Amino acid sequence: MKGSERRRKYHSYARRRHVKSRAWERYTLVLNRFDLKEMASRIMRGEAKFVRFTDPCGHCGEWILIHKNEKMRVLFDRKRRELVTLLPIEAIELDVEPENEIELDNRYCLQN
């Protein structure tokens, strides 16, 4: 295995570990890699609510997702098609729409 492949593999593991630790810290949920994959696929299928883009390029977006009967705020990277982190739910009011929300179809948000 080359050095770049080893770093890429470790970086992928580190990203999953980060999401799992944030799930425990913020929602007291224990997630495994299958849960993370299921959550990402639900976002890609459009079963989550898009809130806003979080970076100027539009790769990462904030989504609201229900998993294991728990409403969560997640950052999803559509370039890598994986979760970046879980955000605290208390930071926003989920019943109130953001003032500057961009009205976009979920299919448009998932295109490359």
Nearest to 23 by CA among 13, 34, 36, 10: 36
Token pair 């179809």 is found at 105
pLDDT (tens digit, 9 = 90+) per residue, 26-49? 999 999 999 999 999 999 999 999
- Going by C-alpha positions, the residue among 51, 39, 52, 48 that lies closest to residue 82 is 39
Q: Are 17 and 34 in contact (CB under 8 A)?
A: no
- Tokens for 84, please give them: 């970046």
* pLDDT of 107 strictly over 60: no
Other beta carbons less than 10 A from residue 72's beta carbon: 22
pLDDT attached to residue 41: 95
The structural domains of the chain, with segments of one domain joined by +, span 3-109
| pTM exceeds cut of 0.75 | no
Higher-pLDDT residue of 19 and 5 is 19
